[in-house]
Chains A and B, each alone.
Chain A
Amino acid sequence: MQTMSHHYIPNFREIREEMLAEIGVGSVDDLFSDIPPGVRLKGPLNLPPKMSEQEVRKHVGGLLSKNVPVNRMPTFLGGGIWPHHIPAHVRAIVSRAEFLTSYTPYQAEVSQGVLQALFEYQSMICELVGLDVANASMYDWPTALGEAALMCARLTGRRRFLVPDLMSRDRLSVLRNYSSGAGMEIVEVGHDAGTGQLDLESLSRELNDRTAGVYIENPAYLGFLETRAQEIGEMAHRAGAMFVVGVDPISLGLLKPPGEYGADIVVGEGQPLGNPMSFGGPTLGIFACRGDERVIRSMPGRISGMTKTVDGKTRGFVMALQTREQHIRRERATSNICSNETLCAIAAAVYLASLGPEGLREVAEICASNARYLMKRLGGISGVRVPIFNSPHFNEFTLRLEGGGISVEVLNSELLKAGIHGGKPLKREFPGLGEASLLCTTEIHAKEDLDGLVEAVSRVTEGG
């Protein structure tokens, strides 16, 4: 009886034997005989046994159901990945097999779907950030930042890169790892104690003729806006350095795009545009830059470009400027990116096309107004300082427990017991900030969620 041992492998044993005969070998083992005996596995690997689909559903579904997802518990976490509403049709489109199971569009003639969707993604990112060119994605915000630093080094021939000392520590770590091979020096610039924003005097001291670029995050990691971003850009340019800005793209529904205040390169996290959080990934690195030829030639990553068929009649899209790779690889500060986050970029394109300018503005408004509401109400609780910094904020803000003897750890633990997930404790990253945490609100938070948090925090701080 002809049997199939696994339903994903159509050529079961008997068929394989026919094929082996045509190949001209006696058995499958003959095809592995060139593996030295000392290296060949003698027995089976110690792996879980094969499960049926029913069993797998139960096991994996069971594992994942041990988690408490944010739609079952009000959660106030952000910090580089945020819970947003994803319109149902976005998921439907990126679940389509033609997008999901396709390969990198090297054969343009049969990949116009992906190529055009990416061109549209690139275009919408350009509109969002105010620059002429965007690539088809990087892995995430930190690696996009790393690549931006390398690009500044390539274009200026310099090695120093200045960053705010209140930037996300994790992003800073990735930046250091990306730029160390090129011998770059990452220098942290101090902040104003009151506003949290980059201190322009410190910046002025650190800027010199060895500075390749200056980076700020706007909104900052800790939620405040850099109100003097334009000046920072001007200072960087006067020193011959490039100006790099990192963003949460949702904020650009309301905020002036960095391209309009002097940014040469914009990086950011595109996850909030139509992609779920999925415990940290897949994420979507945004990377955009100015449109002049010299800059474009140094931009890493894949780009979808418009062209025509060779007979000149029909418009189409191809992976453009592949010689950039060669150009970039002739430098010390080189890039190795190959696979990216295409499917996430397509989701972002569908999301942005669905929201349009009004929709995105609305989302940003709700995010910001929820935050403002929460800040005002939490600020009314004694022993709680919200926000720590005296600056305008977007949808994230810091909270510090003062004088009450309660730690953020205890607060969060009590909140959990009440079925609420508090903000991100900041002690690991910024011990100097005291008992601080980072909170975030988005359009998924209803008034009850916000009021619920305020009540719970009150109870904990006033009770303790």
Chain B
Amino acid sequence: MKKLGLVVNPIAGMGGRVGLKGTDGPEALRRAIELGAEPVAPERAIAALERLIPLKDQIQLITYPGEMGESEARKCGFDPVVVGEVREGQTTAEDTKDAVRRMVELGVDLILFVGGDGTAGDIHDVVGNRVPVLGVPSGVKIYSAVFANTPEAAGEVAALFLSHGLPFREAEIMDIDEEAYRRDELAADLKGYASVPYEPIMMQAGKESSSGFETADQKAIARWMVELMERGRVYILGPGTTTRAVAEELGIYDSTLLGVDLIVDYRLMKKDVNERQILEAIEGRPASIIVSPLGRQGFIFGRGNQQISPGVIRKAGRKNIIVLATPQKLSLTPVLKVDTGDPALDGELRGYIPVITGYMQTHMVKVL
């Protein structure tokens, strides 16, 4: 019998309707309630759970008490196993982490959570990529790639995963700086990767299948990227799992997943570099930038890789930007975005660019 862990962050998303950008921290939460914010997470949870009702007798639902999952589950007719206890008053990130810890101990096959980037980050702190997770979007900040498009879609993917099995993909957990966000600035870090069930657009091979197993696709992309590499050229390798596959293809196993690394002559020159170090390294040498779209919005510059600054991009040259993305990634983010911080440069980067999506294969993708 498959085990589904359900965690609802009841306050996620409360800030949105009253114009607050998130509810991290008790201060912001109090403000939201003052403004008359109502919880939205519970109804999202129910929308997702309704898709799982047909599997009611085939799965064991494990959840936290009260509004952190139990009440929503019962409302949908489930008889959940309830673990843990909620601390008095407002629920916090610690409750989420406790809940997830218990679920992992109980051997859940999937953690379905309702919340936003904050909740995703909290869960990731505990689980890493050891247990698959899937997010029901209910937050203002939903930049991470672990979320389904809608609560119903999340429920369906979960149902499919539990009944038939699905391949996995690694999805970025993005950490948006909420303070900056409230000031209308968007700064993002790549927090890490979670393992997410991947529902390809086509689940069954008809005459051809556009799905595949993302790791294999990444390897194929990496293999070709390495064939294209030239000696004497500095390759600025951005963060992400696809770019990491390139490093691994070269036999480099200590590149950084979340930072920017430099590769020359098929070897790691320097890792986790900042803007200044990059500029020094490419002074007077040909350089190419290899990046991959990060997060749900498909940013190739400006989210999670700000070290590759406008200065770096201009020095390397616009023609020397290479974008890598698996077809699965592109199906989630069919349009790419740029936010280098230099609007003029952003303008120059817009239009259709070739993105390497496989061995000897590119897709023309629009950059907005």
Residue positions of A touching B, CB distance < 8 A: 106, 322-323, 325-327, 329-332, 338
Contacts of A327 in B (CB 8 A): 212, 216
Interfacial residues of chain B within 192-223, with CB under 8 A of chain A in the complex: 205-209, 211-213, 216-217, 219-220
- Assembly CA distance A280 to B358 (angstroms): 38
Say whether B208 contacts A330, CB under 8 Å: no
Say whether A106 contacts B217, CB under 8 Å: no
Say whether A330 contacts B217, CB under 8 Å: yes
Interface centre among A106, A329, A338 (most CB of B within 10 A): A329
A325 in complex: contacting residue of B209, B213, B358, B359, CB < 8 Å: B209
Say whether B358 contacts A330, CB under 8 Å: yes
Say whether B216 contacts A330, CB under 8 Å: yes
**Residue on A nearest B207 in the bound complex, by CB:** A338
| Interface bits B355-367 vs A (CB < 8 Å: 1, else 0) | 0001110000000
Contacts of B211 in A (CB 8 A): 326
Say whether B206 contacts A326, CB under 8 Å: no
Contacts of B220 in A (CB 8 A): 330-331
B285 to A: closest C-beta gap in Å: 30
Closest 7 CB pairs of A and B: A330-B220, A322-B205, A326-B212, A330-B359, A330-B216, A326-B209, A332-B359
Say whether B212 contacts A323, CB under 8 Å: yes
**Residue on A nearest B206 in the bound complex, by CB:** A106
Contacts of A332 in B (CB 8 A): 359-360
- Assembly CA distance A322 to B212 (angstroms): 10
User: Can you sample 13 A-B contacts with CB below 8 Å?
Assistant: A106-B207, A323-B205, A323-B212, A325-B208, A325-B209, A326-B209, A326-B211, A326-B212, A326-B213, A327-B216, A330-B220, A331-B220, A332-B359
Contacts of A323 in B (CB 8 A): 205, 209, 212-213
Contacts of B208 in A (CB 8 A): 325
A318 to B: closest C-beta gap in Å: 11
Interface centre among A327, A329, A330, A338 (most CB of B within 10 A): A330
Say whether B359 contacts A331, CB under 8 Å: yes
**Residue on A nearest B224 in the bound complex, by CB:** A332
- Assembly CA distance A192 to B213 (angstroms): 49
- Assembly CA distance A329 to B208 (angstroms): 11
Knowing that A325-B208, A326-B211, A330-B358 touch, tell me 16 more A-B residue pairs with CB under 8 angstroms: A106-B206, A322-B205, A323-B205, A323-B209, A323-B212, A323-B213, A325-B209, A326-B212, A326-B213, A327-B212, A327-B216, A329-B358, A330-B220, A330-B359, A331-B220, A332-B360
Interface centre among A323, A326, A338 (most CB of B within 10 A): A326
**Residue on B nearest A106 in the bound complex, by CB:** B206
| Interface bits B212-240 vs A (CB < 8 Å: 1, else 0) | 11001101100000000000000000000
- Assembly CA distance A95 to B302 (angstroms): 65
B308 to A: closest C-beta gap in Å: 28
**Residue on B nearest A327 in the bound complex, by CB:** B216
- Assembly CA distance A307 to B245 (angstroms): 35
Say whether A325 contacts B205, CB under 8 Å: yes
Contacts of B212 in A (CB 8 A): 323, 326-327, 330
Contacts of A322 in B (CB 8 A): 205, 209
B329 to A: closest C-beta gap in Å: 15
- Assembly CA distance A322 to B209 (angstroms): 9
Contacts of A106 in B (CB 8 A): 205-207
- Assembly CA distance A338 to B209 (angstroms): 13
- Assembly CA distance A327 to B360 (angstroms): 14
**Residue on A nearest B359 in the bound complex, by CB:** A330
B335 to A: closest C-beta gap in Å: 25
- Assembly CA distance A297 to B213 (angstroms): 14
B167 to A: closest C-beta gap in Å: 9
Contacts of A331 in B (CB 8 A): 220, 359
- Assembly CA distance A331 to B227 (angstroms): 13
Say whether B219 contacts A330, CB under 8 Å: yes
- Assembly CA distance A322 to B360 (angstroms): 22
